[in-house]
Amino acid sequence: MLAPYQIKKDFPILQQPHPSGKPLIYLDSAATTQKPQEVIDTMHHYYEKSNANVHRGIHHLGNRATLTYESTRAKVQTFINAHVSRDIIFTKGTTESVNLVAYGFAAKRLQPGDEIIISAMEHHSNLIPWQMLCKRHQAHLRVIPMQEDGQLDLSQLKQMLNPKTKMLAVVHISNSLGTINPVEEIIEMAHAADVPVLVDAAQSAAYYDIDVQQMDCDFLVFSGHKVFGPTGIGVLYGKEKWLEEMDPWQFGGEMIRSVTFEETTFAEIPQKFEAGTPNIAGAAGLAAAIRYIENIGKADMQQHLQDLLQYATEQLLSINGLHIYGNAPKKSAIISFMLDFAHAHDTATILDSSGIAVRAGHHCTQPVMDFYGIPATARASFSIYNTREDIDVLAEAVENVRMIFVGTL
Ligand code: 7TS
């Protein structure tokens, strides 16, 4: 059993009060997770004791920095059970990882008239790169439709897949609805049609077991800052055969074997995709974040999140005029809601005055909002440092919004 009150103490940022004097309740972990002290300390320690550039210094500090950076690659390999560590590419985040696959891999395979499939609930960063690529190559973007409850309608997928399909990209857990998609089933269907699949694990990597070999995804992407690690570092996993085939997308130092004014030959993977000085301190922080997750254990995390999801759903649904968007049977601890009597931004502003951080807007999933015919939702997203008490405070504060707009309870 996870002890959230104990865990909360690991996160220094959550110890400070809100400017209103009320306790700070952070319910925006889908946007970014807070960082435990050991992640902050590890990054601090890196700059204090080990800072140098990687892969070039023969000196002591250069070796330490390289060891820090490369041992994180090995750490990520075991975190997602990749076959070898060279299948792990460091990027600056999920967005950059998707763009790298779009332009380094899919662009090479795309002919006019070809098709790329995404789903109706993609974050814009797993939508726009594919849309732009399709426009550039006169290809078509096709979309797996969604049902009212926020599940994908996979009955359509089989007939959507055809010899013109060159890529499928799908989100594991929706950041605006919380839906947990059956990615293994999707991958199996896509592979039956010889279509490679990218999985966006931005919302799942922190809490759900990711085994890329078992999942058999061709690419998997996530961001350090959503797994209790720092901003500015992310991961692209790719099957070795695809990474070998893929073109580098950025050029410069670190990614070459030899250079003349006429020709350049590139380094092997993963260096081929990591031009320039990488985010070494970020890598140190990411390794510390993964250690933190491993120490707590994903099974306990999931159990806690499911408990919070169930409790929060009950509490919020007991409020008159509150609607939850996204009611899939398999759902993570993300609740998008709307009040009949208040705009989502007003709701979020009033909640903030009670010390509660929720996000309001389209959550970079505008097509999901269009599907429901709404401009925005308020979104409460929970993590391991949240408690049932946080949810009680949230429910009370939403009742207060009702008081302000409607005048009665
Ligand atoms: N994919 C999903 C499913 C996400 O939730 C996000 C960020 C991204 C991709 C992009 O990640 P980035 O690290 O490259 O920015 N989601 C959110 C969110 O829900 N609120 O702010 C960022």
Ligand 1 atom showing the smallest separation from residue 97 Cα: 14
Q: What pLDDT is recorded for position 5?
A: 86
Is pLDDT at 58 greater than 90 in this prediction? no
210 Cβ inside 6 Å of ligand 1: no
Residue-wise pLDDT tens digits, 73-120: 999 999 999 999 999 999 999 999 999 999 999 999 999 999 999 999
Q: CB of 171 closer than 6 A to ligand 1?
A: yes
Residue 229 identity (one-letter amino acid): G
Average pLDDT for residues 204-221, to the nearest whole number?
98
Query: In this predicted model, which residue has the larger pLDDT, 254 or 349?
Result: 349
| Cα(12) to centroid(ligand 1), Å | 23
Mutate to test the pocket of ligand 1, among 177, 225, 364 (most ligand atoms within 8 A of CB): 364
pLDDT at residue 409 in the model? 57
* Cβ of 203 below 6 Å from ligand 1: yes
243 in ligand 1 pocket by Cβ < 6 Å?
no
pLDDT at 57 over 80: no
Atom of ligand 1 nearest to the CA of 225: 13
Cβ–ligand 1 contact at 179 (below 6 Å): no
**Residues 116, 133 contacting (CB under 8 angstroms):** yes
Cα-based torsion angle of the residue sequence 363, 365, 370, 376 in order, rounded to the nearest 10 degrees: 0
The finding on whether 204 has its CB within 6 A of some atom of ligand 1 is no
Could you state, in order of their start, the residue ranges of all structural domains in the chain?
4-28+297-406, 40-294
Was domain 4-28+297-406 assigned CATH 1.10.287.40? no
Binned at pLDDT 50, 70 and 90, residue 56 comes out as confident
What do you get for the CA distance between the two ends of the chain, in Å?
36
Answer yes or no: is the C-beta of 126 below 6 A from any ligand 1 atom: yes
Residue type, 197: V
* Alpha carbon distance 325, 304 (integer Å): 22
- Can you give the three-state secondary structure of the chain, one letter per residue? CCCHHHHHCCCHHHHCECCCCCECEECECCCCCCCCHHHHHHHHHHHHHHCCCCCCCCCHHHHHHHHHHHHHHHHHHHHCCCCCHHHEEEECCHHHHHHHHHHHHHHHHCCCCCEEEEECCCCHHHCHHHHHHHHHCCCEEEEECECCCCCECHHHHHHHCCCCEEEEEEECECCCCCEECCHHHHHHHHHHCCCCEEEECCCCCCCCCCCHHHHCCCEEEEEHHHCCCCCCCEEEEECHHHHHHCCCCCCCCCCEEEECCCCEEECCCCHHHCCCCCCHHHHHHHHHHHHHHHHHCHHHHHHHHHHHHHHHHHHHHCCCCEEEECCCCCECCEEEEEECCECHHHHHHHHHHCCEECEEECCCCHHHHHHHCCCCEEEEECCCCCCHHHHHHHHHHHHHHHHHHHCCC
pLDDT at 244: 97
Whether the Cβ atoms of residue 388 and residue 308 lie closer than 8 Å to each other: yes
CA of 220 to the centre of ligand 1 (A): 14
Residue 122 Cβ < 6 Å to ligand 1: no
Average pLDDT over every residue of 243-254: 94
Percent of the chain with pLDDT over 70: 100
pLDDT at 330 over 80: yes
Kindly list the distances between the CA atom of residue 404 and the CA atoms of 342, 361, 394, 399, in Å, as whole numbers in the listed order: 9, 21, 15, 9
Residue 153 CA to residue 327 CA, distance in Å, equals 14
Instruction: Compute, in angstroms, the gap from residue 258 CA to the centroid of ligand 1.
Output: 37
The predicted model gives 37-47 an average pLDDT of 98
Active site amino acids: 364
Which residues, 6+ apart, have CB-to-CB distance to 105 below 8 Å? Answer: 167, 196, 219, 238, 242, 245, 246, 247
Determine the distance separating the centroid of ligand 1 and the alpha carbon of 231, expressed in angstroms.
12
pLDDT score recorded for residue 4:
87
CA distance 34 to 9: 12
At 1 the pLDDT is: 82
- Determine the distance separating the centroid of ligand 1 and the alpha carbon of 362, expressed in angstroms: 12
Measured in angstroms, how far is the CA atom of residue 176 from the centroid of ligand 1? 10
For atom 11 of ligand 1, the residue with the nearest CA is 94
**Quick one: which of 147, 177, 101 has its CA closest to 331?**
177
Report in angstroms the alpha-carbon separations of 150 from 62, 309, 369.
49, 16, 11
pLDDT band at 255 (very low <50, low <70, confident <90, very high): very high
Residue 14: Cβ within 10 Å count: 16
pLDDT number for residue 205 = 98
Class of domain 40-294: alpha beta
pLDDT at position 408: 63
pLDDT tens string 269-327: 999 999 999 999 999 999 999 999 999 999 999 999 999 999 999 999 999 999 999 99
Closest-CA residue to 236 (of 93, 35, 336, 395): 93
